[in-house]
């Protein structure tokens, strides 16, 4: 379960940051308008925040139990 969330977050982070075109990494944010860049940034931030909360809850529950 934990591995699934981690892989999902990492996959999203990699896809939002860059993609491969002609064997070169191109920053996606260069081509997107501001609103889409903002949306991708918020998505990535929420993914990392969610991961942090899950790790915190996991450690807290493990400590208490």
**Strand-strand pairing, 24-27 and 18-21:** antiparallel
Query: What is the number of domains present in the chain?
Result: 1
pLDDT in tens, 10-55: 666 555 445 554 455 555 556 667 777 788 888 989 999 999 999 9
Residue 46 included in any domain? no
Residues 6+ apart with CB under 8 A from 64: none
Calculate the CA 42 to chain-centre distance: 10
Residue 65 included in any domain? no
Residue 14 included in any domain? yes
Residue 55 included in any domain? no
In this predicted structure, the answer to whether residue 60 has a pLDDT above a threshold of 90 is: yes
> What range does the domain containing 1 cover?
1-27
- The pTM (predicted TM-score) of the whole model is 0.46
Residue 22 included in any domain? yes
CB 27 within 8 A of CB 18: yes
Residue 52 included in any domain? no
Residue 6 included in any domain? yes
Q: What's the rounded mean pLDDT across residues 3-9?
A: 64
Distance (Å) of CA 37 to CA 3, 11, 16, 47, 54: 28, 18, 9, 15, 26
Residue 39 included in any domain? no
Structure tokens at 64: 């208490």
Q: What's the rounded mean pLDDT across residues 3-12?
A: 64
């Amino acid at each position: 379960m934990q591995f699934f969330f981690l892989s999902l977050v990492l996959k999203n982070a990699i896809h939002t940051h860059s993609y491969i075109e002609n064997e070169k990494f191109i920053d996606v944010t260069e081509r997107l308008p501001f609103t889409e860049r903002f949306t991708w940034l918020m998505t990535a931030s929420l993914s990392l925040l969610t991961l942090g909360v899950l790790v915190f809850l996991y450690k807290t529950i493990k400590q208490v139990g």
